[in-house]
Amino acid sequence: MQEILGGVCAPKGFKASGIACGIKKNKQSDVALLVSEMPAAAAGIFTTNKVQAAPVLVSKQRLQKGTARAIIVNSGNANACVGPDGMLSAEKMAAAAAKMLGIDEDSVLIASTGVIGVPLPVEKIESGLAQNQGFLSASGGNEAARAIMTTDTFAKEVAVEFELAGVSVRIGGMAKGSGMIHPNMATMLGFLTSDVTIDQQLLHKALQRAGELSFNRITVDGDTSTNDSLFILANGKAGNKKIATVDKDYQIFETALIHVCTGLAKMMARDGEGATKFIEIKVSGAVSEVAAVQAGKSVANSNLVKTAMFGEDANWGRILAAVGYSGIDFDPQTTDVYLGGLLVCKGGTAVNFDETKAKQILSAKDILITICLSDKSQYEATVWTCDLSYDYVKINGSYRS
């Protein structure tokens, strides 16, 4: 498996791009469209928030048939909590895309991101699509990735190429998200494409596992959004033998999908609102994988840990305390904590360590926190987060204005 360029357009049979329809105040591109040349197996996973935006509700319903042709996405407006008009606006978005593409309306999935509680000016999207008939391109993945950004500081794309029984196949992806990021989906939108031929139920199975090991293991600020959506379209254009069982080809495909999703998820954590540092938290020796994830998320969500990382303060007590209130079963007296490769806590107690070395480790842009709960278990997990800086407050204190 090797990483390649192209994002969502790297697999065969996909086109995409982005245009400015006037939803964002800064006149930047704010609508992305992604289309497959042929009907594709489709799957999606969504926010666990009970407050769900109209595009989430519409897309959930449309995915029940298991196929789709296109996805339309807008940024700058969440189309959430606006009453019945939200559903109508989501359906109008899809209808406008379907009309431009000459396909059925129910084969178009929808996603939105931006401010909650403000009606979506869907007429701007309808007008923008009508005036930009030829904007889609087989090299338009980056334009689409930029169109879905809100407070993101860079476009997030990953694509890979690998082989299934001698046939070259690809997976591409793009995502957005840098705030309201929390496990069990975040204020994130993710879009994946593949030219693999695969059974729809197995596609959904692989997506769930990939999402669990990537997007559900990042956090920026502990907030879960109303709009979180992760889609995948697989159109079979590569011509491989159909993946119909959980066999070797399925495992290869799932591994590649996890790689793409993990790459995108790490980008989101690295691009956290106001972030100055990317933090990787590895937990080992837990009683189960679930416990390892739970402990890691507890540390990753601790504002005290995150501010200590911002201040480059080797305050390991905050890390141990966060594990302590995580709710997992562990023994503090067998727990060690490392910053980078530096042991700062042994058996739940202080050790003499080089403060200068610790400061050097924490001054880096990438920081590794390792928590060894015991040497009697093999269960482990990794989660990713960022520090909490002054700029996070500045960004979110004036988000609507």
Q: What is the pLDDT of residues 37-96, one digit of tens each?
A: 999 999 999 988 888 999 999 999 999 999 999 999 999 999 999 999 999 999 999 999
Average pLDDT over the chain reads 93
Using alpha carbons, list the distances in angstroms from residue 291 to 182, 237, 317: 17, 40, 20
- CA-based R_g, the chain, Å: 22
Task: Give the pLDDT score at 100.
Answer: 95
Range of weakest confidence among 342-356, 360-374, 378-392: 378-392
Tens digits of residue pLDDT in 311-333: 999 999 999 999 999 999 999 99
CA–CA gap between residue 223 and residue 260 (Å, rounded): 24
- Does 185 have pLDDT greater than 50? no
Sign of the torsion angle spanned by Cα atoms 366, 376, 184, 253: positive
Average pLDDT rounded to a whole number, residues 333-339: 98
Burial class from Cβ neighbours inside 10 Å (0-12, 13-18, 19+) for residue 169 reads: buried
Assign 25 a pLDDT band (cuts: 50, 70, 90).
confident
- The whole-number pLDDT of residue 225 equals 66
Q: What is the pLDDT of residue 304?
A: 95
- Mean pLDDT for the stretch of residues 358-365: 97
Identify the pLDDT of residue 73: 97
Question: DSSP per residue over 273-286, as a string?
Answer: TT---EEEEEEEEE
Tell me, yes or no, if 187 is annotated catalytic.
yes
Q: What are the residues whose beta carbons fall under 8 Å from the beta carbon of 395, sequence distance 6 or more?
A: 151, 179, 273, 274
User: What is the pLDDT, as a whole number, of residue 401?
Assistant: 45
Give the pLDDT confidence score for residue 186 in this predicted structure: 44
What's the average model confidence in pLDDT over 146-172? 95
Percent of the chain with pLDDT over 70: 95
Higher pLDDT residue, 225 or 272? 272
Over 80: is that where the pLDDT of 363 sits?
yes
Pairing, β 156-164 against β 108-115: unpaired
Percentage of the chain exceeding pLDDT 90: 82
The catalytic position among 187, 193, 197, 262 is 187
CB–CB of 211/202 below 8 Å? no
- The model's pLDDT over 201-232, given as tens digits with 9 standing for 90+, comes to 999 999 999 999 998 888 765 555 678 899 99
The pLDDT, as a whole number, for residue 223 is 54
Coil, helix or strand for 393?
A: helix
Q: Does pLDDT of 399 surpass 60?
A: no
Q: How far apart are CA 233 and CA 221, in angstroms?
A: 30
The length of the chain in residues reads 401
Evaluate if residue 184 carries a pLDDT over 70.
no
Cα-Cα-Cα-Cα torsion 326, 331, 332, 338, nearest 10 degrees, comes to -80
Summarize the confidence of residues 13-24 as an average pLDDT: 96
Mean pLDDT is lowest, of 215-229, 312-326, 334-348, 383-397, for 215-229
CA atoms within 13 A on the CB side of 302: 26
Q: What is the pLDDT of residue 26?
A: 80
What is the pTM assigned to this prediction? 0.89
Q: Which class would CATH give 278-397?
A: alpha beta
**Structural domain boundaries in the chain:** 2-270, 278-397
The helix-helix angle for 316-324 and 289-300 (nearest 10°) equals 130
State mean pLDDT over 158-174. 98
What burial class does residue 36 get, using C-beta atoms within 10 Å of its C-beta: 0-12 exposed, 13-18 middle, 19+ buried?
buried
Q: Is domain 2-270 in CATH 3.60.70.12, yes or no?
A: yes
Per-residue pLDDT, 187: 56
Confidence grade of residue 271 (pLDDT, cut at 50, 70, 90): confident
With H, G, I as helix, E, B as strand and everything else as coil, classify residue 244: coil
- pLDDT higher than 90, residue 390: no
Contacts of residue 29, Cβ cutoff 8 Å, sequence gap at least 6: 18, 19, 20, 143, 146, 147
Q: Residue 224: what pLDDT?
A: 59
